[in-house]
Amino acid sequence: MDYSEIVAEASVEATREMADRVAQLLPVKVLRPPAPGMVMVRHADPLENTLFFLGEAYVLECEVEVDGLLGYGCTLGANAAAGANGNGAPGADDVRALCAALVDAVVGGGHPLASELERLLQAEAARITARREEEARATASTRVSFEVR
């Protein structure tokens, strides 16, 4: 599993732990705080094997600089965007976008701290894999098979 996939599916607590580690040890500058945006969603037609744009998706994007390395974080949706919780505090998706950007800068940028984050990422990957397997077992009995002729 790629680090960006792990961060995208990780719990907010796990991504926050990684981001806190980065912020404690390295200089961090937020270049663009979590802000709303739109991205086009591509989908592959399985019958014709062609790509098409399914539509737009709402995202929160964030850009940071960590010890001279640039990082980018993007989360799908905004379940709890800043202020949506009524107190003006950052929501869970804001935090996830910021944490993802911090991890991207360190791991994607090849910083020496990346090896420490890799251990945290692998632990979270194991939790994600276990969750996926449990979900697959829970839904296996409801699987439907369609035959295309």
Query: N- to C-terminal Cα distance for the chain?
Result: 35
pLDDT of the residue at 103: 95
pLDDT at 57 over 50: yes
Which 3 state secondary structure label does DSSP give 106?
Answer: helix
pLDDT of the residue at 80: 45
- Specify the DSSP class assigned to residue 145: -
pLDDT digits (tens, 9 = 90+) for 76-129: 876 644 444 445 556 778 888 999 999 999 999 999 999 999 999 999 999 999
Within the chain, residue ranges assigned H as helices are: 3-9, 12-25, 92-103, 114-139
Average pLDDT rounded to a whole number, residues 2-14: 90
What tokens were used for 148? Answer: 């295309």
pTM value > 0.85? no
